[in-house]
Structures are given as C-alpha cells and as structure tokens.
Structure 1
Amino acid sequence: MAWATPISKDVKPPVSSLMMVNVYVALALVSSLCIFTRSHLLVMAGCKTATILFEKMHECIFRASMSFFVSTPSGCILNRASTDQSTVDTRIFDLMGYLLFPAIELLGTIILMSRVAWPVFVIFIPSIIASLWYQQYYIDAARELQRLIGVCRAPVIQHFSESISGSNIIRCFEKEGQFISSISNLMDNLS
C-alpha cells in the first residue's frame, strides 16, 4: 500500500483508488475460485474412492465361499464393512487435504530454503529420518488399536443384528428384558 501513497499532497498517486479496489476484488475472486476448485476436487476424489471401495467390497463378499460365512460371524462382517465405508465416506477427502496441502507447502519451503540457505539441510535430514522412524512406530500402534476396537465392537453388532432378526421370537417368549440387559452389558464392555 505504501507504493501507492503519494510523497506529498500535491503529487498525484501513481495508482488510483479504483484500480487498487479492482485488484483486491480480482484477487479475492481468484482466491475464492481456487478454494472452490480445491474443495470440489477433494469431494469428487472422496466420492470416487468410496464408490470403488463399496463395489470391490461387495464383490468380494458376494463371491466368498459359504465356509467364510459359516466361520465368520455376521457382526464381524457388518462391523468391518460399515466401519471401512464410513471412514472412506466421511474422512478420506479431509485426510487427503490434510496430507496434500501441507506437503505442497513443505516442498515449497524446502525448495526456497535450498536456494537461500542450503546448510539448513544439515538439520532437515536428521529431522526427516526421526519423523519417519516415529511415524512407523505410530502406524503399528494405530493399526493394533483399530484391530482391538473392531474386536470389541463385533459382539455388540452381532448381538444387535441377531436380536433384530429374531425379534418376533424374543417377544413371543417375553425375553425382551434379558436381551436388553445383555446388550447393555456388551455396550458397557465396549465403552
């Protein structure tokens, strides 16, 4: 803004106020268009990913042998399918954004630093190695926690699906209270 300010009151400014407003409006419009395009591309990529997962998952389930359904409880199948699909539907495009945009910023920073102060790479290289080592530890721990959550959630989903499919029989023998208390115990164990 200082470059557009005249040196004294008698001197005409090199750029008119209308020109500055037009430039700011153009910058705001271009920025809005870029943000809209970014959001649109992320949502489209997330929808495409969710559709591909859904189709492949159902193809695998429908082509599975009968022994798979005998040995695997329906609660485990429903839990895994619903959890994976829910994660892809709701979180994948956010996570892609959280990964891509900081990665682009980091790459730009590294390129700029390599041009201006290349000795900084002496710090970058050990930091990157330490980050990769910690990431490997975290990924293993996160996978194990997700597996444990799935194992704990499967009995609840299986009990719920079996209770729904047998609700007429449960009502016939007046065992609603027993099933409510058993699902409550399973929910307490889950939480």
Structure 2
Amino acid sequence: IAFQFAFEIHLQDSVAAMARQYVRSIISSVQRVASALYPSCFGSLNGSLLSPGTPEAQTLAGWICQSYRCYLGVELLKSGNEGGESALKTLWGHSDAILCCSLKALPVFTFANQAGLDMLETTLVALQDITLEKIFDEQGRKTLFAELPQIMQQGFICLQGGVCLSSMGRPVSYERAVAWKVANDAEEDQCMCFMFINWSFV
C-alpha cells in the first residue's frame, strides 16, 4: 500500500505528522479486524506477537521482571508487584521502551510495551515484521552483534546511549539501554528483552 500527500514546503512537518497518524490509524483498523477474525492467532509465546491482557502476555511480564531481577539484582518495576495482571499493567505503562525479540538467528520483535510501540512508531500486529537489526544503524548493529554472545553467556549487558531508528525511519536517541535474557520458570531461555531508557525522537 502506498500513500501520497501533497504539501507546501512550509507545512512539511505538519503534513508528515498527519501522514504518520493516518498510517497508524489504518494499521490500527487492520489490527482490530484481524484480531476479531483470528483471535487465537494473537497469543502464542512461540515467536508470535503477544497482545496485552492474554494469559501468555501476563506470564511473559512475570518472566521479564523475574529475569531482570535475577541478572541485574534490582527490581524492574518500582511497585514490587511482579506477578500476573498487575505486572503486565505496570510494564505496559512503563515510561522506558521495553521490547522483546525472539532468540532466532535473525531476531524479530514479539512484544513491546506502549512506550516501545511509540518509539518504533508501530502497532502490536506490525511489530512482528520488524527485525532487531532494522532499528540500528551500521555502527549500532556492529556493537550489538559483538555483544550478543555476552548476553547469552552472562545473561545481560548494558549499552551506552546512542541512536536507533523507528519503523518509519525516524532517528530515536536513548540515554542508555539494557538487554537481558528472559527465562521461564524452568530456566529455559524464551526471548531477549531490551529496555531503552529516556528515549526521544531526534
């Protein structure tokens, strides 16, 4: 699908913002129709996206918090309540962008909180079309892929601030980032989680 918007040069920023909102509303409409037609497709932990409110998403939220505490030694959520629906609700509303991606050779995103969706300028349905490497520039990709073995061995890494890209190609700066492995209750690795702290559009 392609959209074309005519504009006068002095209105470029306003039209670009309106165009982004228009595309988001279309994606959101398609998402609502898709989830109404195929509700069972939106709740698997096996590399598929997770919608907030599903039992799987609540379970994942618990694993994210538990793994963060295990590897970094501190609580992810200030409330201290890291179980079930309340953990998911707090995680969903967290101000930092929290994104989960698969542990495949080419990791794709499977879950994001609201800040993560805003940062990537996407929706939960479109999230699974975004690969981890797509959001980093060349230098960011080199740094990330050099650090991936350390995440798998040590369980986490802290990355210095930098710039990544939204799905619309807009640069996003972040103060720092943390990446950690997310394990289930049986200590089996499920996915990798990233938290981009104090992010903003450049």
Q: Same fold (TM over 0.5)?
A: no
Q: TM-score, normalised by structure 2?
A: 0.27
Structure with the higher strand share, 1 or 2: 2
